[in-house]
Structure 1
Amino acid sequence: MARQAKHFDRRFTLSLLHPKYWATWLAILVLLFFGSMPARLRDPIARLLARLVRVYAKKPINIARINIQECFPEMPASEVEDLIKANVDMFVLVLMSQAELLVRSDAHIKRRIHIIGYEHVQAARDAGQPIIFIMPHVWPLEYAGLRLNQEVPMVTMAKAHRNGLFNWFSNRLRSSQNGRVYMREAGIRALITELKQDNSFFYLPDEDLGPEQSVFAPLLSTEKATLPVVGRLAQAGKAQVLPVKIGYDKAAYRFNLTVMAQVKPEDMLGKDNEAVALNKMVEQVIQAYPEQYMWFLKFLKTRPEGQPKLY
């Protein structure tokens, strides 16, 4: 059993109706309601609710402030606070809207998410290669993953939530385009198998997974512990590596999803080189849409020897 690939079971079970989940069911119903609402009505409501989040989410906002100051030490304090405000606004907007990915039509999703640079995807597919899409943790990452999954068969990997119902709901959403979501325990072998079967992989490279097997590489004005696994995956699965960024156009009520040019395989040879290359991809996304990045994450938790902890 331990050798079998582990992926999330998206089937509904009666255990999800247990009274302990009733509050979660209510939250899901609210999300489904907002997901069915037109963006022109929903976005102003999200901006109002974001004010409440900024009042009560003191701890996450402090983490965001630390991260921003570490990455942009020369940024004036007023600009840091403006970025935090815009970041909270985007968090609430995406939270309230992303259920549309589950309840709205494929045509609606394609209208909401405009792809730029699809020629890079087409070139990889014409060459008969799967793709490892690289995107850091941004609020609209589910939009990016599902939109790409409409075009190519794809898998991803996620950490399980403690709440069983929310775990089922989020993975139903992530697999709604017939993708497959693996648990971390599945390991690299399951992903290599998927790549060899011509299934692409959506990978988030910026989570801090601790010092084991990670190497430090520059990220903006700081250093970050980075897990260099993509190069081996791409080589073993004969895949192309394509960075991806996404940003929300408030005036057009749509997301602009940009697929960037292939990362040269030689740029990812060796763990140190790969860590540098991965962090450069993260930098590209942050610099393009800084308000979209998940600054609330403790992605700088592991520090180089001799440096004090940040959180």
Structure 2
Amino acid sequence: MSRPPKHFDRHFKLALLHPKYWLSWLGIALLMLFGLLPSGVRDPLVRRLATLVFWIAKKPIGIAKANLRACFPEKSATEIETLVRENVQNFVLVLFSQGELLVRSKAHLRRRVTLNGFEHVKAAQAMGQPVIFIMPHVWPIDYAGLRLNLELPMVTMAKAHRNGLFNWFSNRLRSRCGGHVYMREAGIRALLAELKRGNSFFYLPDEDLGPDQSVFAPFLGTVKATLPVVGRLAQAGNAQVLPVKIGYDQHRRQFELTVMPAIAPSDMVGKENEALALNKVVEQVILAYPEQYMWFLRVLKTRPEGEASIYS
């Protein structure tokens, strides 16, 4: 008897109407309302909220500054402060626009996200290979995943929210174009089965998952613990590994999504080589739009033995 797939259930349940979720429903309603607004109206309104967020979110901003000091030791305190403020502004802009991913049409999504470099995907398809898209945690990540999912069948993997309503909302949003969002505990086997069915996979390689099986490799101005699993997955699933970058252009009010050339399989032979190749790709994506990376995450939590935490 086969086990049920371990992907998130996007069906609505009456339990989500429990009073404990009423405040969360209010937040979702607000996001949906902003999602209905034209970006030319929404963006100026939302920018004003960025200053408030900057003064309220002291702990996440402290984490962002620690990450930036470690990754860009050559930057002055003033430059880091400026980058953090730009980062907060982009976070707020993307957050309050995300409702449109559910309430606006797929044609609207195509107009909002300019897709470049898709010839690299077509080249892989011509060879009968699925694609593992590599993208680190950037604020417009859901725009990237859904825009690509309009063009080809895809799956991804995510960590569950503690809030059951937000869990349902975020995974319903991410699977709007037909892709499944797997739970982490689904493991590599579920992803491999998807690749063998011809479905592509959207993978986030920059999360710090602890020292177990991770490898330290150079990353910007420091080193980072990276889990070298993509190379083996690509080999087993006969897939190509294509990095992806995306950024929001506030002047054009459009997202610019670019699929980059494939990582050579030879660059991912051996755990150390793969960690190095993945970190180089993550660097490229971050440096394209450094103000739009999720610097609030503890991406440098695991440090080499004897080295103090940068978040102390």
> What amino acid sits opposite 1:69 in the alignment?
R
Report whether the alignment pairs 1:26 with 2:17: no
What's the TM-score once normalised by structure 1's chain length? Answer: 0.99
Superposition pairs of residues 285-296 of structure 1, within 5 angstroms: 285-296=285-296
Shift of the alpha carbon at 1:4? 4.4
Distance of 2:229 and 2:3 partners within structure 1: 20
Query: 2:115: which partner in 1?
Result: 115
Query: Which has the higher mean CA deviation after the structures are superposed, 2-11 or 79-88?
Result: 2-11
Superposition pairs of residues 19-168 of structure 1, within 5 angstroms: 19-168=19-168
Q: Name the SS of the counterpart of 1:114 in structure 2.
A: strand
Shift of the alpha carbon at 1:306? 1.2
Distance of 1:18 and 1:24 partners within structure 2: 11
5+ residue gaps in structure 1?
none
Query: 1:11: which partner in 2?
Result: 11
Query: Which has the higher mean CA deviation after the structures are superposed, 122-131 or 294-303?
Result: 122-131
Query: 1:215: which partner in 2?
Result: 215
Query: Which has the higher mean CA deviation after the structures are superposed, 116-125 or 88-97?
Result: 116-125
Distance of 1:207 and 1:3 partners within structure 2: 28
1:123-158 deviation per Cα after TM superposition (whole angstroms, max 9, x unaligned): 111111100000000000000000000001000000
Distance of 1:21 and 1:172 partners within structure 2: 17
Distance of 1:125 and 1:50 partners within structure 2: 42
Shift of the alpha carbon at 1:286? 1.1
Q: Percent identity?
A: 69
1:201-224 deviation per Cα after TM superposition (whole angstroms, max 9, x unaligned): 000000000000101011011000
Distance of 2:120 and 2:136 partners within structure 1: 19
Query: 1:204: which partner in 2?
Result: 204
Distance of 1:226 and 1:45 partners within structure 2: 39
Distance of 1:99 and 1:152 partners within structure 2: 23
Ranges of 4+ aligned residues in structure 1 off by more than 2 Å: 1-5
How many residue pairs get aligned? The number is 311
Query: 2:247: which partner in 1?
Result: 247
Shift of the alpha carbon at 1:5? 3.2
Shift of the alpha carbon at 1:251? 1.3
Distance of 2:126 and 2:150 partners within structure 1: 17
Report whether the alignment pairs 1:281 with 2:263: no
> What amino acid sits opposite 1:165 in the alignment?
L
Shift of the alpha carbon at 1:2? 9.8
